[in-house]
Amino acid sequence: MESPRDLRQRLFAFSLRIIRLCQELDRKSGVSRILSRQLLKAGTSVGANYEEAQAGQSRADFISKTSISLKEARETHYWLRLLAASEIVPVAMLSDLLEESEEISKILGSIVSRSKRSST
């Protein structure tokens, strides 16, 4: 699946994929539903925090909100890895999302690093 070039669009598309996965997980009971809630909160928060960062009141606010977005991306990657390792969802079904969450984390990490360097 080709990712949108604009990061905001890419994060929105990522959130949609997380929502769809969580809808499938919610059809099951027990652990699947609990993990679904964790994944849904973290996975959709990545884009939401980045959107907030775009309207940051200062460079420090932008860095702070983008850093939160990075943390949420890393958490999302953790939940996806856990779903795969526990075999709740087959690894093959998660490989694209795992790869995308890792790429998003790298992009956001780079943005935070560059922003911190240019603000000093």
Coil, strand, or helix at residue 113? helix
Compute the chain's Rg from CA coordinates.
Answer: 15
Domains of the chain listed by start with CATH number: 7-119 (1.20.1440.60)
Which range has the worst mean pLDDT, 4-13, 37-46, 67-76, 90-99?
A: 4-13
pLDDT in tens, 93-116: 999 999 999 999 999 999 999 999
**Model's pTM, two decimal places?**
0.91
pLDDT, tens digit, for every residue of 48-71? 999 999 998 999 999 999 999 999
Number of Cβ atoms within 10 Å of the Cβ of 49: 21
Q: Residues 62, 63, 69, CA angle at the centre, nearest 5°?
A: 90
DSSP sequence for 39-74: HHHHHHHHHHHHHHHHT-SSHHHHHHHHHHHHHHHH
